[in-house]
Amino acid sequence: MKHVIGIIGYGGMAGHHHDILKNYDRAYIKGVFDVNPERLKVAEKQGLTAYSSKEELLSDPEIDLVLIAATNEVHMPLAIEAMAAGKNVICEKPVTVTSEELQKIMDASEKYGKVFTIDQNRRTNRDFVLMKRKVEEGLIGEPYVIESRVEGSRGMPTGWRTIKELGGGMMLDWGVHLIDQLMYMIDEKVTNVFCKMYKIQYPEVDDNFRLTMTFESGLTAHIEVSTNNYITHPRWYVLGKTGTLQIDDWNCDGRIVRCTDKEDVWAEEIVYTKAGPTKTMAPRNENSTETITISEPLDVIDDLTVVYDQFIDAVEGKAELTIKPEQAMRVMKVMEAAFESDEKGIAVQTQI
Ligand SMILES: NC(=O)c1ccc[n+]([C@@H]2O[C@H](COP(=O)([O-])OP(=O)(O)OC[C@H]3O[C@@H](n4cnc5c(N)ncnc54)[C@H](O)[C@@H]3O)[C@@H](O)[C@H]2O)c1
């Protein structure tokens, strides 16, 4: 039996859910509610039921799953109302705008006995999985710095993303994904958060930011989200104790260069190089490293059905959620520490 989904908030991302789920065998989208009547017309043209209110959608007994894909500031009340109406809920990211709001959702999930999960769909992005696999295979030794960047030069899209009280800004938009990826990969507490945010184009919200989070072992992660970079960095750059990994872009083109022979014999005298007289930065013997080309892991399924599978498995009692509210809570707390760090101009000590 297929599960039946109702969507509250039928904008761009909800349309993407609709496209992806057209051929999904475990659930289908029956209908939507949106406060914008134009979006209801679009839904109707696509063969979906357009409900005249969220109450009407929530009282449809056929619907057992609700996707919340409205703007961020209304995720909390909508999610709680849907669970109170007996529905299991999947919510778009960022799950909420504050950790207090998320706590209220978690309390409601417990109270009404309903499953609540979040669309942290970038855990299966191939660039991320490739980086994670290669680091975990030990190819560069113990990692001590991971740099994750997402960069564009077109500024931020207009609309709610530029408005603070609607949950705008790049930290809540992209930061939430990039932090989630690293906290999912690294099973350690975050003990220090430092963040600098920039308002290049819009006065209210961070349209660019640079975040450094330090894990308990000392491993540091640098996350940058930019909308104003005309020359970009690699998507991933990871330093391990015996090698370096780089993944250039979303195509996953990349390489590992690792040490095969530690050059510990130093010249007696200064060495004259392009960098000037230096021993430290002199070129190394090229036979003392090896280069491994890495490429897109085509075996990885990277679409929203993975997120729905874990949701539906939990609804059917077959398995625990893999995208848990408790994990989203940790990410939310790191983002709150990042806002505090930026506001006060300090590094914030944490135990997250
Ligand atoms: N997981 C991802 O990769 C990803 C990508 C893009 C957007 N998102 C998330 O999806 C959500 C929607 O983003 P979008 O880009 O589709 O924005 P959008 O502006 O295209 O759509 C939002 C829709 O919500 C509707 N809405 C607002 N308040 C409502 C309410 N109270 N009840 C019903 N409808 C309401 C708006 O009318 C609009 O149609 C956001 O939370 C965003 O962060 C996630």
* Residue 52, ligand 1, Cβ within 6 A: no
Per residue of the chain (352 residues), give pLDDT as tens: 899 999 999 999 999 999 999 999 999 999 999 999 999 999 999 999 999 999 999 999 999 999 999 999 999 999 999 999 999 999 999 999 999 999 999 999 999 999 999 999 999 999 999 999 999 999 999 999 999 999 999 999 999 999 999 999 999 999 999 999 999 999 999 999 999 999 999 999 999 999 999 999 999 999 999 999 999 999 999 999 999 999 999 999 999 999 998 766 777 888 899 989 998 888 888 889 999 999 999 999 999 999 999 999 999 999 999 999 999 999 999 999 999 999 999 999 999 9
Pick from 98, 118, 138: which residue ends a domain? 118
**What is the dihedral angle through the alpha carbons of 49, 54, 56, 59, rounded to the nearest 10 degrees?**
110
Residue 265 Cα to ligand 1 middle (Å)? 59
85 and 151 belong to one structural domain: no
Using CA atoms, how far apart are residues 40 and 50, in angstroms rounded to an integer? 5
Using CA atoms, how far apart are residues 182 and 263, in angstroms rounded to an integer? 32
- Pick from 34, 66, 304, 332 the residue to mutate for probing ligand 1's pocket: most ligand atoms within 8 Å of its CB: 34
223 and 111 belong to one structural domain: no
Residue 62 Cα to ligand 1 middle (Å)? 24
pLDDT at 333: 98
8 and 157 belong to one structural domain: no
Q: Which atom of ligand 1 is nearest to the CA of 119?
A: 1
Task: Determine, yes or no, domain membership for 99.
Answer: yes
The pLDDT tens digits for 57-82 are 999 999 999 999 999 999 999 999 99
Task: Determine, yes or no, domain membership for 313.
Answer: no
Half-sphere exposure (Cβ direction) of 125: Cα atoms closer than 13 Å: 23
Task: Determine, yes or no, domain membership for 314.
Answer: no
94 preceded by a cis bond (ω within 30 of 0): yes
Domain count, the chain: 2
Task: Determine, yes or no, domain membership for 83.
Answer: yes
The domain containing residue 79 runs over which residues?
A: 3-118
79 and 195 belong to one structural domain: no
113 and 130 belong to one structural domain: no
What pTM was estimated for this model as a whole? Answer: 0.97
Residue 124 Cα to ligand 1 middle (Å)? 21
Q: How far is CA 95 from CA 57, 130, 273, 335, 340, in A?
A: 21, 26, 53, 12, 19
Using CA atoms, how far apart are residues 96 and 319, in angstroms rounded to an integer? 25
Nearest residue (CA) to ligand 1, atom 7: 13
Task: Determine, yes or no, domain membership for 308.
Answer: no
Using CA atoms, how far apart are residues 5 and 67, in angstroms rounded to an integer? 7
* Residue 49, ligand 1, Cβ within 6 A: no
* Residue 21, ligand 1, Cβ within 6 A: no
The pLDDT tens digits for 274-316 are 989 998 888 888 889 999 999 999 999 999 999 999 999 999 9
156 and 283 belong to one structural domain: yes
Task: Determine, yes or no, domain membership for 199.
Answer: yes
CATH number at residue 212: 3.30.360.10
CATH number at residue 22: 3.40.50.720
Could you give the angle at which helices 12-21 and 304-315 cross, rounded to 10 degrees? 80
Pick from 93, 118, 143: which residue ends a domain? 118
272 and 289 belong to one structural domain: yes
Task: Count Cβ atoms below 10 Å from residue 22 Cβ, excluding itself.
Answer: 10
136 and 109 belong to one structural domain: no
pLDDT at 330: 98
Q: Helix (H, G, I), strand (E, B), or coil: what is residue 169? A: coil
Task: Determine, yes or no, domain membership for 337.
Answer: yes
Task: Determine, yes or no, domain membership for 210.
Answer: yes
111 and 139 belong to one structural domain: no
pLDDT at 264: 67
pLDDT at 50: 98
Pick from 118, 141, 161: which residue ends a domain? 118
161 and 289 belong to one structural domain: yes
Residue 12 Cα to ligand 1 middle (Å)? 7
56 and 151 belong to one structural domain: no
